[in-house]
Structure 1
């Protein structure tokens, strides 16, 4: 595929047919639009934080949006004038039908940092569940809010939150493509790479320190790796023909990718230094979009060896491929949950209608969970409870998160650019 073709071709169509550094601001902020009703959600009140305005960020609103987007909580209106310093009057909050309540404050320190504090209460049991204090630089006030949401989520669900993790995604504004790194709600984005030529297929290293991606800046598909702390880039794969669809192994030492260097499009394993370890598939078909199982022993991929794109799996060490998807005649873009039990992918329903599905790998049960029709590029949150994907809404390419049952969705709407190809980063940053 040429660079000009990649201007209009998305990942879901592939089978059917530079500026370094992290210093530039994002083109636009995002807004969260929640839709759907989950089966059981815990009622919680998040009061506005005392003096939060001085941080330049709506701390409580960020926390509310994080918790609501998770599908685990429903919001109860808070009260003004509260902070973590005072205990709640439990009967009043029970009357407001809140099961939990949080309050906090923001204080500017002498060195210019902000002290962001919060406390959480179990209203039903009448218990103080504790809290925490963070001293953060002004640029990290949003991150502090996400960390508080994570702490609340873990206290009340017993599972780790993902709000302080990051997303990578591609924006296209006019003729310019940009690879961005943002908070898990799509905001706070910074530029990793900008180019007049297409950028596709971002993939996180398991430690979250680097991204691999495909750039057409040299007028052909080349796989690069970029260190996110320094912005330093290096070429990983620039073999004859096309180099595409990078995916890190769970230990981060190798990558699977699609190369056409020997003719056709086949899967290869390369080392982190870019040396070919071995060819994984030996078919006359198009084999692409590899993704490792969490144990590193199995690889899932898309192949049209049966006549149309379907998802297959095979041992990384070698062996025959086994077909995984049988529902629908066109299935692409596999993504595996962190526990390896759930497969997300995109299926074509009819014509140009593409919808997000999830499969329970043990039973083979498949559910379509999106109500949009131009879905692509699903990626699991590192706790496996949410999926982010790209779709089209109101004439724009946007990002959306969804719970695995599809009942609670949040649209991350860009006002200035089309947004594509999200990849959810690992824990830690």
Structure 2
């Protein structure tokens, strides 16, 4: 290879490397933290999905694995030793997902469901012994429970709507069920009863003692916050303003509710009790805030 051609080759190689780096930088990256110091990150590009598990106390990623493109709903086990997720396996089906678990040490994937249903949105129980998931069966959304190692799944509820998210109560006695078209229900795992919540309720969040649910729902032309008393099955309007209040989240000890107030500029707000004046946090102005997360000590 002569010198001019070699220079062109080096230039093209360097340009391709920069392009690949740019594509990676533009990838959709999201993660979920475990209770201690492990973080799961999905790196998605048009050709592959890479799952990385890192120890945030060290700069390097501890492990990584390539998965199929269609992967969703990562959820850590309560002890932080495993992840559960659903993914599509094209060699088995082009439309149906299955549920998998991934152990961190050793780094190993295990398929938990093997069937011809579309299995979605797996969620660990608070004690780590069970996994709830959704299966689309004959145009119904069926909620199943299975053991943490897979197998022995049993249907606990059948709904004629598309379910999007399952949210266990901290005491493990109930599951809040959100629907794709808006709205939610509360499934009592002890009695098997399903209670409908306010129409188009979204962004459900449990109080730490499992006594309340807070959520956002349409009210007087905007979205306001409501508090649902699980035992009394009553609902109370928490916030009623001309703005939209969304993404409510109880603090770790349950004494505060953080939420986003949407107007020309989004603001992060705190409210202590029903009827109290909300407090705007002194943060930089944002045009679009997507979500909130409390730190584990409840101070941030």
TM category (shorter chain) comes to: 0.5 to 0.7
Task: Name the residue aligned to 1:224.
Answer: 100
Task: Name the residue aligned to 1:364.
Answer: 235
Q: Alpha-carbon deviations, 1:156-183, whole Å to 9, x = none?
A: xxxxxx9965554545456554445568
2:209 pairs with 1:339: yes
CA apart distance, 1:318:
4.1
Task: Name the residue aligned to 1:207.
Answer: 79
**Pair 387,374 (structure 1): closer, same or farther in 2 beyond 3 Å:** closer
CA apart distance, 1:320:
2.5
Q: Alpha-carbon deviations, 1:250-309, whole Å to 9, x = none?
A: 2211111101245421111111122244211133333452222222222221248xxx53
Tell me the TM-score normalized by structure 2. Answer: 0.59
2:189 pairs with 1:319: no
Task: Name the residue aligned to 1:141.
Answer: none
The SS at the match of 2:73 is strand
> What CA distance in whole angstroms lies between the structure 2 residues aligned with 1:175 and 1:386?
43
> What CA distance in whole angstroms lies between the structure 1 residues aligned with 2:171 and 2:51?
29
**Pair 337,27 (structure 1): closer, same or farther in 2 beyond 3 Å:** farther
Highest RCO, 1 vs 2 (Cα 8 Å, sep ≥ 6): 1
Contact 1:201 1:421 in 2 (8 A): no
CA apart distance, 1:422:
9.3
> What CA distance in whole angstroms lies between the structure 2 residues aligned with 1:274 and 1:300?
22
Task: Name the residue aligned to 1:105.
Answer: none
Q: Alpha-carbon deviations, 1:358-390, whole Å to 9, x = none?
A: 635366335569xx98977x8777555789999
Contact 1:380 1:388 in 2 (8 A): yes
Task: Name the residue aligned to 2:69.
Answer: 197
5+ unaligned residues in a row in structure 2: which ranges? 1-23, 27-33, 261-266, 273-278
The SS at the match of 1:260 is strand
Task: Name the residue aligned to 2:11.
Answer: none
Aligned ranges 1:8-407 → 2 under 5 Å: 168=40, 170-172=42-44, 176-179=48-51, 190=61, 193-195=65-67, 197-218=69-90, 219=94, 220-303=96-179, 309-324=182-197, 326=198, 329-345=199-215, 347=217, 359=227, 361=229, 364-367=235-238, 407=280
Count of aligned pairs between the two proteins: 246
Contact 2:126 2:171 in 1 (8 A): yes
CA apart distance, 1:188:
5.9
5+ unaligned residues in a row in structure 1: which ranges? 1-25, 29-161, 391-399, 414-419
